Chains A and B, each alone.
Chain A
């Protein structure tokens, strides 16, 4: 195969050699209105697709055909498009300010630069400054609020946390729905490092966050399928195209020595928890209802009302006891957390000569988390180089090495969850005192005089959270290399290149569970022991993504009026994933010597699995663009893919696309165009994208040796030396068809009042058919799930971006406004085989499903029975009665999203604010259920905990269909500690919020003050991101962004005591030399 593919390259090169045409190079500098070099301006040769982008200093270099009459079109964000005739080989071009524009160069699929006016589909392009305006920690979370049509969720918002980016709604049940992340034309491996066990989640983030925002030159987001058809199946969810920075060529014939451009940026960030739950401060430890009023062992806050009297608490050790006033500790949970700190340094060096450029950057990020002992460190190095070879050949190389090392604490319900152990604390416990767990009263493990292991900690059911944070140790270490090499040949109208891209990851996560076997000191605690044999689990993951792209492009002016661009390409993809997962499970096994975490240190067999998956794809595609007088554009695309994951007789699938645009303002003249509507375009597109199955989905069955599990325990064979193999519970299906997404969109881009106001609007409708899912089947079939083409999902919505410049003065004051609005309506259209829903995730009675007639991600659980809108309660107890079957509840999908931003600048001083909001939608909060159960939530104090009548409730009269108004009060204690557990729907909370996403105040010191120094520019600022949060009044619990499902899990909207989200703020200094 390889031989054949390289043969293709040779053939193409040979064919193109015939068209040798002479060119020369134009260099120049683009200056903004204050005379500073403008980085990122697009330079294109008029009437062609030949183009480049200015470097960080505003310099550019462009190969143009010999001859006179070349016209350069200069486009820069925030400035009027300028056309300049090529007069000399070194040119200086001054830009004139304008409002936000709709024209300009954008990078589209396969790193092809296009003018925005050509595009028949909606897209968003951000330059480096726009992206990093809030100094966020990742190139993904920095997109929040800036892209219409995107639903972005950063679970913690802090360093290393995961970020989910969904464009125009979820389209697949089985696959990860995240947008494809492409860096310099190479598809990257966006895998999830989060351990999302139902009972335990450790968020190490997703690999899409590895990219350093400072390395990014620009980012284009292609929301729909039409923009991404050239990426094949992988692009079905939309594409985020990052272009990294590049060096610049030295000015031709310059006598100056080659100059190195150096940029240095340092950022210090501090992080705090964004939202704490509201807790009651009226009742303390114990249980006056059903046990011992002031039970010293309790995590319950169902004790007596606070009286402020001194009381002993905790265990009696050597006849002594701790004493404290019996009063609330309003900030006891808060006191546990630290200020997170992050120091981020970035240095880049770039430069070039006539034929070569280079860009080298080094980034370090060292941060400590809000939970004691957690940290996240990341180092990355990037090298980008280009060189022009002789005979019109050119080559480029991009290499990015990333190393990250982090420690994160578990959320969830398991005994290693720091958060669970912390939140299960009564309202009067002074948590900060527990920090010193060497003190016997706070200790989890010490040996008494008789050599017996004891604990003196007050709680009998939960462990000291500080001890948990320091002893349960979860770490992740990643080494990753992303890069590509490109060899091309460019001559006149032809450009052909072959690019090999690779993303190699070596990732290791280690989970350590400390051994403990301690008995209480105090006889009152007898029987409440802490026992855990200690365990170790390690996941070694090696991932490979290897791509080869061969792309040929031909551009031609057919006549003065018609232009054509033909692109043809082929792609080969190799995807290999292999893991080695070894576990010493403290439940079935254990460590021999405590605190020695090594796999030989075990009391029994180690569980080892080594899952391997392989997928390969092969595709050919073509893209033909026609234009008429640069006014009407037509784009036709087609692609055929062959995938290894489908049965050979139906593994080939073709999908076409077409889009067009009409710049109708070309037809307008005179004052109306000059003063009212200076640019207007309408566009429409229709396209399809095919998607294959996951590997091995068509293998019918197999046998394996695996655990035989009950709800929590398991028997792991071999059993008494007998190996035991069982049939795999998943059924493959040989006849799987590829998924097909059909996507339609219409839109318009308008600029008014000489670009003072611009509007971009898109309406889209997509339907994904033949969804492939591992759908659960009735266990009575002997199996638990089967791969099937199960149905259709549709997404419809609107995207709107508005920019305006109310004030722009000649003396430098400028005020920009910016807003986006996104509305997506997701609907599961049909499911086959009589299925009414498919589970996407959830736990503990709360399912998150794709159900027919409901949005993707609908909650499905038992709720209170309702009669004509009235809750039905028991006539005898007054307690609400649960439905016998689960019912469909709300969805995690927001009704709409919007953002609103403002930039106010005066000379170098700039104030930037960005607000984002999601309205509608719900999330499941385990914290709410837990706080209710423990009596720490505020609603447990209603009516001083005395019985009261459930609002608007009715009861059923006998077995009749008659219902009468209920007057029987219910016991809040009974409800919250008992009944509510059978009503998982009560854990749903309104997910609406408004967030101050970014606030930055920066000052770029005018160059005149340091003109003769080594400094090129100096900029400093203070910033905050994820800064302030306003939630719905009923949400007294969590930031709705927090999730236990990681970035790639489809069971979103599920907070099973997830890691808390963070507010980040700090300052930065940026210097160039």
Chain B
């Protein structure tokens, strides 16, 4: 037995030695596939791209369908559910996920910039997070805000954040923007450079962006909470140094730098899965009204039906994807809005966050309402025409190209002037023989009459390039007032009023309050 004991002891000692030295052997669990740190210069563009991707793809498609710029091409079927007003909740999974990813990355950027004392990065992170949360709440209504983005263990590891009322989110993002403004210093040397994909680190423009965003937020609240909205707007107008986005300040992310940096909508449509099948086609709701108004921008936002000559811009009735007419008889959205799935020129279309046209139309509405509190020096009618002109300016290259095409006989009609001159022809009616209905501003009309013109022209300006914002404003104001019910509506005359919470959220968040129907209005939607 003593010998056996010896063996057992020997084995035990040997094994014990082995165990003791295994600590080092087992120390191989640091993930080599990710970096432990990032820099502000690398986080900012990623976060901005998340916003640009979502605004450019999901929000643009849904918005442009429901604002009736676009409808489903009969030759394909990808977006029929939008014209049916019957997308399932998971249809909204990508925008929900990507917007929260954007916000989380802005949060990370803010935290890192804070430790590095880079105030301008902190400011941009706050403004863009506010911009992102407005998109979220305008699309879905109530949403996690105060407890959102706290997944990390150091952030309390909250994986089921509670939902906040839309009003809470609105108040919160207004505070965020104020904090951002207090950090902004247009002369700070530690500002970003080309890593800021929106303004290249131009803090003066970021200031205008922040003020214009406040204007957008207050105007959205203007019906449901006029007291707060008016007070906020008046304060903007009576504070010195406040300026809004004007010509040349347009906030957008440019694309087309390489084949992997395609304009997001084009990247989507030309992807392996959708393989360049043309799903988007112009809706007659927009095209018919542009046509009857002699609006030359219809040659910018849409392509003529036949490239070989004598073509026209013709729309398909909203939701008429079962049309028996060949789909080649309809105009598709142009490369300027990344709508042509088979033309590489679509790769360069920018994604617009806030344009100068939008800024002018917002200001026009404020002045028409008389909320500026102090003279802004500009009348509502002049701001109305500035808005239209800003839209023409933004697309002046495209208008020149359209003019050249007209000379070459691509369209079945003549086209008087290219570039910005087209604006003059448009408002004076040169193009159509007489000024179009929507170009004659009711200077002496009631606010409602004025708002109808401002919002309708805003809608024209946002055709396929700010579809989501146009849909939001249409929900807020009811303008344009000539949207139709899709031929394939499954909800009758009830048009979509919000997005659905995706199952990725509803099934995973223990605090999820319950799905809300697509046709239920959001908080500020009183129309």
Contact = CB atoms under 8 A, between A and B. Distances in A.
A913 interface: no
Interface stretch (B28-36, B115-123, B171-179, B462-470): B28-36
A703 B41 CA distance: 13
Given A644-B29, A710-B267, A15 B101 contact: no
B503 interface: yes
Interface string A762-794: 000000000000001111111110100000000
Interface string A582-595: 00011111100000
Interface string B473-516: 00000000000000000000000000000011111111010010
A781 B257 CA distance: 33
Given A4-B21, A710-B98, A711-B58, A724 B161 contact: no
B161 A781 contact: yes
A696 B27 CA distance: 11
A786 B26 contact: no
A449 interface: no
Given A7-B14, A12-B11, A781 B19 contact: no
A722 B28 contact: no
Interface residues of B, number: 117
Interface residues of A, number: 118
A658 to B, nearest CB: 21
B42 A782 contact: no
Contacts of B52: 715
Interface stretch (A43-51, A614-622, A671-679, A1034-1042): A614-622
B100 A708 contact: no
A704 B105 CA distance: 12
B509 A982 contact: no
Given A651-B26, A702-B35, A710 B54 contact: yes
Nearest to B277: A461
Contact of A715 (B89, B97, B149, B262): B262
Given A1-B22, A527-B75, A699 B31 contact: yes
Given A290-B322, A712-B273, A779 B96 contact: yes
B186 interface: no
B45 A724 contact: yes
A618 B25 contact: yes
Given A570-B18, A589-B260, A884-B515, A725 B35 contact: yes
Given A12-B14, A845-B88, A724 B42 contact: yes
B38 A725 contact: yes
Interface stretch (B152-160, B208-216, B309-317): B152-160
Nearest to B260: A716
Nearest to B154: A700
A19 interface: yes
B307 to A, nearest CB: 10
Contact of A292 (B86, B151, B159, B324): B324
Interface stretch (A77-85, A726-734, A889-897, A922-930): A726-734
Interface stretch (A95-103, A809-817, A828-836, A1046-1054): A828-836
A644 B515 contact: no
B43 interface: yes
Given A1-B21, A728-B34, A642 B26 contact: yes
A1009 interface: no
Contact of A834 (B46, B160, B269, B327): B160
B365 to A, nearest CB: 32
B26, B74, B275 — most chain A CB neighbours (10 Å):
B26
A8 interface: yes
B446 interface: no
B94 A722 contact: no
A1057 interface: no
Interface stretch (B2-10, B224-232, B383-391): B2-10
Given A8-B15, A620-B19, A713 B159 contact: no
Contact of B509 (A1, A290, A710, A780): A780
Nearest to A14: B10
Contacts of B21: 1, 4
A886 B149 CA distance: 27
The secondary-structure label for the interface of chain A is loop
A976 B105 CA distance: 43
Given A12-B14, A620-B19, A734-B153, A708 B53 contact: yes
Given A644-B29, A715-B49, A720 B11 contact: no
A643 interface: yes
A696 B7 contact: no
B507 A729 contact: no
Given A711-B58, A778-B159, A614 B28 contact: yes
Of the candidates A716, A780, A781, A836, the one having the most CB atoms from chain B within 10 angstroms of its own CB is A780
Contacts of A35: none
Nearest to A646: B29
Contacts of B39: 725
A885 interface: yes
A722 B197 contact: yes
B18 A726 contact: no
Most B C-beta atoms less than 10 A away, residue of A610, A617, A783: A783
B29 A698 contact: yes
A714 interface: yes
Contact of B22 (A18, A526, A642): A642
Given A15-B6, A885-B515, 18 more contacts: A7-B14, A8-B18, A11-B11, A18-B3, A527-B75, A527-B327, A552-B11, A648-B23, A713-B264, A713-B271, A716-B260, A717-B45, A719-B197, A722-B42, A732-B31, A783-B152, A786-B159, A833-B159
13 contacts: A461-B277, A527-B328, A618-B26, A702-B31, A703-B37, A713-B270, A713-B271, A715-B261, A716-B260, A720-B194, A726-B46, A779-B97, A885-B89
Interface of A: 1, 4-5, 7-8, 11-12, 14-16, 18-19, 199, 290-292, 413-415, 461, 494, 513, 526-529, 531-532, 535, 552, 554, 568, 570, 572, 585-590, 603-605, 607, 610-612, 614-618, 620, 642-645, 648, 651, 695-696, 698-705, 708-717, 719-729, 731-734, 776-784, 786, 833-837, 845, 847, 862, 882, 884-886, 978, 982
Can you list the 7 inter-chain pairs with the closest CB atoms, starting with the nearest? A702-B34, A782-B104, A713-B267, A834-B510, A604-B259, A8-B14, A778-B509
